[in-house]
Amino acid sequence: MKVFHCDHCDHLVFFESVHCVRCEHPLAYLPDLGVTGSLDNAGDGLWRSPLARAEGKTYRLCQNYTEHNVCNWAVPADDDDPYCSSCRLTRVIPDLAPPGNKEAWYKLEVAKRRLLYTLLALKLPIASKQDEPATGLAFEFLADPTDPAAPAVLTGHDNGLITVNIAEADDAERERRRQQMGEPYRTVLGHFRHEIGHYYWDVLIKDGPHLDRFRALFGDEREDYALALDRHYKTGAPPDWQERFISTYATAHPWEDWAETWAHYLHMIDTLETAIGCGLSVKPKRVGEPAMKPGTKVEAPTPSAFDAMLKDWHALTYVLNNLNRGLGLSDGYPFVISAPVIEKLQFIHEVVTAPTAVKAVPTAPERAPTVVPDQLQSGPSVPSSKVERHEPQTT
């Protein structure tokens, strides 16, 4: 994430900000410019950016910005869709009547916008199911049903449809699940990055030129997925999993190894860009300690940039964990990257930066939906009521 400033008073603002606390100008993220900037009222519900590169452009605020205050993105005035490019990907939202549901929806949308920011920076293809029903992307945010006998909502991916249980937006509930699942790390943004990994496996790997290399690194994805998950939840990860995998869940199946490693790659890209945008550099006094060079570019990186990126990552996480320990907190980066994991990360980096990597998603899935089983889920939390913005879809 870059560092943003108000275009009127140069005060520091954030990606999620909606107004400048110094000069009170309204703010919005302008996807076509890649900035969170301040706006001038142009009348008739339209806004202008004072930036020179925005001359002649006008914008509308996303309808979820003006009606629900759960978005801060703008829409070019010549775009007929009332929703921004992020919100139009959300096909189903939870019932907003129960207490806490609107707040949960907001947290999910914030995480989704952070995800999309990184995907746009990496120049990855993003198309909605509204525009491309067979190959596009859509999100559904659902709550568990009130009937205890009904199946719980599973966070997962199925042929471009990503479903997220809104209970994941509850910090206490998410921490309970993290502990019971024995995970070192569980965040809303992490869920989005993992599930989008399944989508981009279909886009970038399936039936493409990278498939053989994928199988050599991650394993044969033709292994029965349901049986592999069942085995994982019965027997757990192998004792030596850290020597070959980024997480225990990555050991379940090659698709999950890819999705976990993909999510980790996105963690690295976003965190490094943020650190660099803040002007952070690590200059240790002793030779051999992790060092991070200032000014490294991570936006739309080139294939040759991986080694430098990894070196900066080691330095940054060294500082991050030590800072957390100084505050009495757990490590902010509770992972160990082994040589095989580095090779997998580099493969993902090369796939993302390969100019000929992108291809169409298959029109029909050839496998069962990829989901995160949550056997330890308690009873129902809040009612589920579909609020369809586009066509209805069951999970």
Domain boundaries in the chain?
1-81, 86-204+366-395, 210-355
* pLDDT > 90? residue 282: no
Q: What is the DSSP string of 317-372?
A: HHHHHHHHHHTT---S------HHHHHHHHHHHHHHH-TT---PPPSS-SSPPEE-
The pLDDT score that the predictor gives to residue 285 is 72
Which pLDDT band, with edges at 50, 70 and 90, does 294 fall under?
A: low
The CA distances from residue 134 to 183, 362, 363, 371, in Å, are 34, 8, 5, 20
Task: Give me the helix-helix angle, 188-204 and 254-277, nearest 10°.
Answer: 120
Read off the pTM.
0.85
Q: Which residue has the higher pLDDT, 379 or 58?
A: 58
When pLDDT is cut at 50, 70 and 90, the band that residue 138 belongs to is very high
* Interval 274-291 mean pLDDT: 79
Report yes or no: 83 and 63 within 8 Å, Cβ to Cβ.
yes
pLDDT at res. 283: 78
* 189-218 per-position pLDDT tens digit: 999 999 999 999 999 999 999 999 999 999
Q: Please report the pLDDT score of residue 301 as a whole number.
A: 56
Higher per-residue pLDDT: 177 or 258: 258
Mean pLDDT on 68-80? 95
Average pLDDT score over residue span 173-195: 90
Q: Which of 5-9, 17-21, 289-293 shows the lowest per-residue confidence on average (mean pLDDT)?
A: 289-293
